[in-house]
Amino acid sequence: MPITDLHRKKLKKNLFVLGALLVWTFLIAAVAFIKMS
Amino acid sequence: MAEAILSPSAAEVHGCAVDEARIRDYIDLLKPRVMTLVVFTGAVGMVMAPGFLSLHPLIAFVAMVSLAFGAGAAGAINMWFDRDIDAMMTRTRLRPIPAGRISADNALSFALVMALFSVMTMGICVNWVAAFWLLFSILFYAVFYTMILKRSTDQNIVIGGAAGAFPPVIGWACVTGDVASPLPWVMMALIFFWTPPHFWALALLIKEEYAKANIPMLPVQRGNVYTVRWMLGYTVLLGPLSLIPFMMGAVGYGYAIVAGVVWAGFCVAAVRVVMRPDDPARARAMFGFSILYLFALFAALMLDKVQ
């Protein structure tokens, strides 16, 4: 299946969501660290 | 699996508007201008709370981000529910859903995920009292105001205004973990009584649009003369109300002077509207001044806090 612009857009969207979730996870971890120390 | 991630959905293949959605459209869905006001008044509530300086900066930051996204989620649910009337009004017809850049389903999913994440993050990282009030204000705005009040009574924005007034209470709760003190509720009352003159100034300007969309705004239902009298009433009431933090000893003379001066300006704008209720220039000036008034009042609260 050829890669179209639509695929690239979809991938970009998914990567954006993944990035946001990653940032959120780090944030929660950092806050947990602060609260424990 | 890789194909599932890469493959466009059926709606996208069939050229649905979802394709055109950009990050900018999702930001617009969160009503960024309203969000600014929410974050600002929430930050003031936080700064005014005793013990603010001992709050870790990262936790304060997370609290503000949660508040911002919670408010954004409420705004997005509002845009999802109001997509029919938004399409009828010039002011709102270019919003992402009526303009066809984001599908209604996508907007709702985005809003619900955002609401869930903001409340959970507030609860986990800050405290559950603040999370409760955040959830309460999201539900108040998105369900009670948007789905019930807005289309059923001319007092819609008076009662619904409470939703926009909660941020200082949430900010306060972020620091103290309770809302038992009177000061956050005084700050809430300030925004609550400020909302009618602010919103009705806008309603005077686009009265025909509201009438076209069948929204029972006060100028549509009772006319301009009736509306401007109530606008003046609420504006006058803000004067003594804004002095309560000073009388409580929470802020100093600097705040009292600023509150008095901007209130006088707000009253002048209201009287000018009362004198010519059909003059759009005066209504526009009142609307602009109302925003300046709230920012000045809350900035003065924050800057003149008695330590």
| CA of B58 vs chain A CAs: smallest distance (Å) | 7
Best of A14, A27, A33 to substitute, by most chain B Cβ atoms within 10 angstroms, is: A27
Can you say whether the dihedral through the CA atoms of B199, B201, B206, B209 is positive or negative? positive
Long-range CB pairs of A5-8, under 8 A, 24+ apart, other chains included:
A6/B8, A6/B12, A6/B13, A6/B19, A7/B6, A7/B7, A7/B8
What pLDDT is attached to residue B272?
A: 97
pLDDT tens digits along B266-280? 999 999 999 999 999
What pLDDT is attached to residue B75?
A: 96
Residue A1 has pLDDT above 80, yes or no: no
Max distance between CA atoms of chain A, in angstroms, equals: 52
Mean pLDDT of B132-148: 96
Smallest Cβ distance to A10: which of B6, B59, B117?
Answer: B6
Instruction: For residue B16, name the pLDDT band (cuts at 50, 70, 90).
Output: very low
| CA of B25 vs chain A CAs: smallest distance (Å) | 13
| CA of A10 vs chain B CAs: smallest distance (Å) | 6
What pLDDT is attached to residue B307?
A: 65
What pLDDT is attached to residue B6?
A: 45
Portion of chain A with pLDDT greater than 90, in percent:
41
Smallest Cβ distance to B8: which of A6, A24, A27?
Answer: A6
pLDDT tens digits along B63-88? 999 999 999 999 999 999 999 999 99
Backbone angles phi, psi at B206, to 5 degrees: -120, 40
* Nearest Cα residue in chain B from A8: B6
Neighbours of B31 (CB within 10 A): 19
Residue B8 at interface with chain A, using a CB cutoff of 8 Å? yes
* Nearest Cα residue in chain A from B2: A11
Residue A20 at interface with chain B, using a CB cutoff of 8 Å? no
Write down the mean pLDDT value for chain B: 92
What pLDDT is attached to residue A10?
A: 84
Mean pLDDT of B152-180: 95
What pLDDT is attached to residue B278?
A: 94
Q: How many CB pairs under 8 A join A and B?
A: 37
Residue B103 at interface with chain A, using a CB cutoff of 8 Å? no
Residue A10 at interface with chain B, using a CB cutoff of 8 Å? yes
Smallest Cβ distance to B62: which of A1, A9, A27?
Answer: A27
Residues of B in contact with A31 (CB under 8 A): 58-59, 62, 124-125
Instruction: For residue A5, name the pLDDT band (cuts at 50, 70, 90).
Output: confident
Mean pLDDT of B278-307: 94
Q: Do A9 and B5 touch (CB under 8 A)?
A: no
pLDDT tens digits along B245-272? 999 999 999 999 999 999 999 999 999 9
Examine the predicted complex and report whether its ipTM is higher than 0.95.
no
Instruction: For residue B20, name the pLDDT band (cuts at 50, 70, 90).
Output: low
Query: Rounded distance, CA B258 to CA B264, Å?
Result: 10
Residue B188 has pLDDT above 90, yes or no: yes
